[in-house]
Amino acid sequence: MAKKRTISIRKILQVATTIVVSVCCVIAMVSASRIEDKKMVKSVAIHLKNDKKYHFIQEQQILDLAITNRQVDIEHTPASMLNLHGMEQAIKADPWVAGAQVYIDNDGILQVYVTQRIPVARIFQKDTKSYYLDTTLSIMPLSASNIYYTTVITNVPELKNDSAGWVLRKNIITLVRTLQADTFWNAQVAEVVVDSLGQFDLLPVIGDQKILLGDATNINTKLSNLFSFYTNILNRIGWDKYDVLDARFAGQVVATPSLPYNGPIDKAVNNMNWINSIVETEALKDSKDSVKQEHVVKASPAKPLQKTVLKSKKEIAKKNDKKKNANELKKDKNKGKKNSKATDQKQKSPKYVYPKKDH
């Protein structure tokens, strides 16, 4: 005979309890979800990373990008109805934003975390267009409200989104970050010039020479060789003795001396300069003689210049005669009183005075 199967009341109670508990949990979760869906945002908190050093974007701009420009009524829209992902994408679309995170915390506060881009180099293209290049090799436009001073790169071709453009971007960032990491070169390099081959030339702050650096390979070694040349050579003979320092070659620096060049010699000009020097010497001598005269002879506009010159010569001759007469008078004084009276008469006599004539 088959045995009758007994049903355990204990098991029935366990199953029933489990079902009830599960249903209660589901109901509680649905209720909590409905309550959460109706919950409103209390406030908005903006967190800007790198805001103390870089000021390319402000908190108000972030609020405009995430809320105002998207016409979101944050005060009357339930938290469940807010498109947080859309807010993040709108903020990331800004060229000065590197990353953004938006979420609502347990206290009902809309938290917005934004990371600004870090500019590394200021680029000046051949067509005079200017912008920044950041650590991610991305282009950052200039800001109307903020200017960030960093290493300047000039004569840059258009940085297209092709392989050549990305290689040049990478080389620029590599070079600039190497220069900025070194205290000496960060202070010494005023400008970096990109030549037609995509290689780099450095223009120093101190010294007039151009430094040919080449491409971005072995940058540290090239800069080390240049620093040794500065220390051992330029510090001894002067920093203005060379026009070009070429560090493109391994293990050496080729220096081109500075040679002054005044252009070809013009013999006619030299002869004219020689004649002019004689004329200037004679004019200076005549001016000194004229200063010794009691009266300065001036040329009248109504009289020709030739007569004025003759008058000057006659006055000089007159003065020489006076000196001669004075010497003779001194000699006569030694002869006695009689001779002194005669000497006085001669001094008053007009024959010893250069006559004044009308010209």
Domain identity same for 134 and 223: yes
Report DSSP state, residue 81.
G
Domain boundary among 210, 240, 257: 257
pLDDT tens for residues 218-246?
999 999 999 999 898 888 888 778 889 99
Domain boundary among 60, 85, 116: 116
pLDDT tens for residues 11-33?
777 777 888 788 778 777 766 66
Domain identity same for 146 and 275: no
Could you tell me whether strands 189-194 and 130-134 are parallel, antiparallel, or unpaired per DSSP bridges? unpaired
pTM of the model: 0.58
Residue 51: give the domain boundaries.
43-116
Domain identity same for 236 and 128: yes
Residue 352, pLDDT score: 28
Q: Among residues 43, 58, 63, 56, which one has the least CA distance to residue 95?
A: 56
Q: How far, in Å, CA of 331 to CA of 348, rounded?
A: 17
* Mean pLDDT calculated for residue range 136-153: 88
pLDDT at 106 over 60: yes
Total number of domains in the chain: 4
- Confirm whether 31 is domain-assigned: no
pLDDT tens for residues 146-161?
888 899 999 999 998 8
Backbone angles phi, psi at 210, to 5 degrees: -100, 135
- Confirm whether 160 is domain-assigned: yes
Helix residue ranges per DSSP H, the chain: 9-37, 59-63, 84-92, 163-181, 183-188, 219-229, 235-237, 267-292, 305-333, 337-348
**Ranges 25-29, 33-37, 127-131, 163-167: which has the least confidence:** 33-37
Domain identity same for 125 and 244: yes
pLDDT at 286 over 50: yes
* Mean pLDDT calculated for residue range 82-91: 91
Residue 308, pLDDT score: 44
Strand order across the 130-134 sheet: 139-140, 130-134, 119-125, 151-156, 189-194, 200-204, 210-214, 242-246, 254-257
- 212 - beta bridge partners? 201, 246
Mean pLDDT taken over the chain: 76
Residue 25, pLDDT score: 80
Domain identity same for 160 and 238: yes
Q: Among residues 200, 198, 203, which one has the least CA distance to residue 188?
A: 203
Domain identity same for 225 and 300: no
- Confirm whether 15 is domain-assigned: no
Domain identity same for 331 and 224: no
- Confirm whether 33 is domain-assigned: no
Distances (CA, A) of 100 to 86, 105, 120: 11, 16, 21
pLDDT at 89 over 70: yes
Backbone angles phi, psi at 120, to 5 degrees: -110, -40
Domain identity same for 134 and 248: yes
- Confirm whether 18 is domain-assigned: no
* Mean pLDDT calculated for residue range 48-67: 85
Domain identity same for 249 and 337: no
pLDDT tens for residues 323-353?
666 666 556 555 554 544 444 444 444 332 3
Residue 36, pLDDT score: 60
CATH of the domain at 192: 3.40.50.11690
Domain identity same for 284 and 306: no
- Confirm whether 347 is domain-assigned: yes
- Confirm whether 48 is domain-assigned: yes
Residue 346, pLDDT score: 44
- Confirm whether 156 is domain-assigned: yes
Domain identity same for 99 and 159: no
Domain identity same for 132 and 249: yes
